Chains A and B, each alone.
Chain A
Amino acid sequence: MHENLERYLKEISHYLAVKQGADEILAEIRSHILEKAEGESGGVTAESLDRTIAGYGRPRDVAAKYMDGDEIISPTFRKYLFRYTAMLFAIHFVLTVLAVSFRVSIVAIPFFFIPKMSAFWAIPYIFMALVYDFGVVALILYLVTQRKGEVRLPWFGIRLARPGESGLKKPKRAVLAMLIAFFGVFLYILLRYHTLFFYTVNGSRPESFLNPAASVFFSILFLAAFACDIIGYWIRFLFNTAWVTLVQNTIVLLILWIVWNSPIKPEYRTVPGVDLRLVGGGLVLFFIIVNVFRFLRSLVHVTREMSLP
């Protein structure tokens, strides 16, 4: 019994995922190493075995050579793995937004179980959902790969990107200048009138829809989301990657999330007869839908970037 040799073979066996004949493979390697150690060193000793084992190669590499062409997931499914995960996660994300917004549980066994939860718990949940979605897609692609036969998986493409491109457009200076100009105007209005949500009657001084505290609160959140967009756009002049847009859109969605979850109390109202919950809620919902679409688009761009060589 040669402990170092048996230890080496045992380690190979951990990596050796062949359907049959693993014991025979190990027996053949054992026989080879013993004979070589004896033939080249004049006897089988712990030292001669160590030298021979070192020459034979790392256990993982040795095992890998027996599994050549036996992939867990075919490399040809790499783009599918990221595309499908992004799509599943997008559905998961939208359903989570709905579950939190309407305070309900959503179940679609075995793909989704979104419990009733607060916005706070939705943040860790959504990260867990991403890992789960990746696992589900990997499992499906694993089963398809192991089936060996010809399987044509559907390909959901929004628009074909040119070879070597993710589809993310180059930022333009004129657009950045326009965004900054708008930001300046909004900031000026906020500083001057302490609100961005106002009305005027026959050119009179603007009056806010909301009371002063609520006006400043929601106006600042609106400006923060807008600033985030501008900063993201500016960073893309330095690093034009879809990851920037993904982070930018995630932050904007988080801000909209805060707005959506801030209760609009009746005392905020300054204009009689206006249903603030309906008008404000509708406006925020519109921004959320637009930004969920932008978020999904940035996910598509990220997956394209990841699948580029």
Chain B
Amino acid sequence: MDVEFGSFETELNRGFLQVLVLVALERKMYGYGMIKLFEQTGYAVEENTLYPLLRRLEKNGWIKSEWDVGEDRPKKYYIITNGGASVRERALAIWTGQSEILNKMKEANRHA
């Protein structure tokens, strides 16, 4: 049961994490900083999941990156692109729509 739910949760999180990253990258951030920020909001993300996701989003042209080698340790910073911002707005609209559908369904069940 737990294993099955774990897989189900992973599927649910897959889309959510992409939207969350697009929202977070309104300002310049690097991977570890993003993980800490998500943790503060109560959302834990596996580090080995976040970096491949960032790579895919960059490949799609939705975010861009640059290395900052000025600090003690080189860091790769990411920020959303104009194309990514457009995708984010559409994704949020879908998310809101789905949330409303769920609420309506729950409401309908309550009166059934």
**Which of A31, A35, A65 meets B52, CB within 8 Å?**
A65
Q: In the complex, are the beta carbons of B74 and A31 less than 8 A apart?
A: yes
Q: In the complex, are the beta carbons of A28 and B31 less than 8 A apart?
A: yes
Chain A residues with CB below 8 A from B51, complex form: 25, 28-29, 32
Chain B residues with CB below 8 A from A25, complex form: 51, 55
Q: In the complex, are the beta carbons of B74 and A27 less than 8 A apart?
A: yes
A56 at the interface (CB under 8 A from B): yes
Residue of A nearest to B56 (CB): A68
Q: How many Å lie between the Cα of A35 and that of B30 in the bound state?
A: 11
Q: In the complex, are the beta carbons of B32 and A35 less than 8 A apart?
A: yes
Q: In the complex, are the beta carbons of B52 and A36 less than 8 A apart?
A: no
Chain A residues with CB below 8 A from B55, complex form: 21, 25, 66
B47 at the interface (CB under 8 A from A): yes
Q: In the complex, are the beta carbons of A66 and B32 less than 8 A apart?
A: no
Q: How many Å lie between the Cα of A25 and that of B31 in the bound state?
A: 12
A258 to chain B, nearest CB (A): 53
B109 at the interface (CB under 8 A from A): no
Chain B residues with CB below 8 A from A126, complex form: none
A73 at the interface (CB under 8 A from B): no
A139 to chain B, nearest CB (A): 28
Q: How many Å lie between the Cα of A28 and that of B65 in the bound state?
A: 12
B28 at the interface (CB under 8 A from A): no
**Which of B47, B52, B56 meets A32, CB within 8 Å?**
B47
A5 at the interface (CB under 8 A from B): no
**Which of A31, A34, A62 meets B76, CB within 8 Å?**
A31
Residue of B nearest to A38 (CB): B73
Q: How many Å lie between the Cα of A39 and that of B47 in the bound state?
A: 15
- Cross-chain pair count, CB within 8 angstroms: 40
Q: How many Å lie between the Cα of A32 and that of B75 in the bound state?
A: 8
Q: How many Å lie between the Cα of A61 and that of B46 in the bound state?
A: 12
Chain B residues with CB below 8 A from A56, complex form: 47-48
Q: How many Å lie between the Cα of A24 and that of B48 in the bound state?
A: 15
Chain B residues with CB below 8 A from A31, complex form: 32, 73-76
Q: Given A31-B75, A32-B32, answer yes or no on A57-B48 (Cβ-Cβ < 8 Å).
A: yes
User: What are the interface flags for A47-68 relative to B under an 8 Å C-beta threshold, 1 for contact and 0 otherwise?
Assistant: 0000000011100011001101
B7 at the interface (CB under 8 A from A): no
B9 to chain A, nearest CB (A): 17
User: What are the interface flags for B34-76 relative to A under an 8 Å C-beta threshold, 1 for contact and 0 otherwise?
Assistant: 0000000000001111011001100000000000000001111
B71 to chain A, nearest CB (A): 10
Q: In the complex, are the beta carbons of B52 and A66 less than 8 A apart?
A: yes
Q: How many Å lie between the Cα of A55 and that of B44 in the bound state?
A: 13
Residue of B nearest to A18 (CB): B55
Docked complex: A4-33 residues within 8 A CB-CB of B: 21, 24-25, 27-29, 31-32
- What are the 7 tightest A-B residue pairs by CB atom distance, in nearest-first order? A65-B52, A57-B48, A66-B52, A62-B48, A35-B32, A28-B76, A32-B32
Binding site for A on B (CB under 8 A): 31-32, 46-49, 51-52, 55-56, 73-76
Additional pairs, 6, CB under 8 Å, beyond known A31-B73, A34-B73, A39-B32? A28-B31, A31-B74, A31-B76, A36-B32, A62-B48, A66-B55
Q: List 12 A-B contacts (CB under 8 A).
A: A27-B76, A28-B51, A31-B73, A32-B31, A34-B73, A35-B75, A55-B47, A57-B48, A62-B48, A65-B48, A65-B49, A68-B56
